[in-house]
Amino acid sequence: MSEWIPVSERLPTAYHQMLLKDQAESNPTFFMCGKKDCARLVEKAKGEAERILKEFSVFYSGDVGIEIGVKQFAACFSITATLTVNGSKVKEYDPCDLCFYDLNALIMKRMIDCGMVSFGGENDYE
């Protein structure tokens, strides 16, 4: 009998890498994609970053930016984001949509603090 090895210390086998690669290529996301989908997903992420930064600038001032990149793993790639303030790296996200979620949460917090969210009140559709 072989000795038990914790999951965190196991190396992925060629079979597991093949499964990951097939999954990444058949269902590409920011979290896991194949090489051929990287360019399209990077452009999509840059568009999303531009949109969220435009919304973010309404509530927060300063030079806030998002740098989009690609990180390679054994069998696939992920789309990453680096949040920058005044050109300095603040936080790195992998996958990039975690950055968008964080910024969206800050926007929502500011909207609530300013009383801009009605949560289904009477005047929503006027």
DSSP 59-74: H--S-EEEEEEEEE-S
Question: What is the pTM assigned to this prediction?
Answer: 0.76
For the chain, the domain total comes to: 1
The pLDDT mean for the chain works out to: 85
Confidence of residue 125 (pLDDT cuts 50, 70, 90): very low
Q: If you compute the radius of gyration of the chain from its CA atoms, what whole number of angstroms results?
A: 20
**69-80: buried (b, 16+ CB within 10 Å) or exposed (e) per residue?**
ebeeeebbbbbb
Determine, yes or no, domain membership for 118: no
pLDDT digits (tens, 9 = 90+) for 72-101: 987 889 999 999 999 999 999 999 999 999
On whether residue 30 sits in a domain, the answer given is yes
What is the domain extent for residue 92? 13-113
The answer, yes or no, to whether residue 123 has pLDDT greater than 60, is no
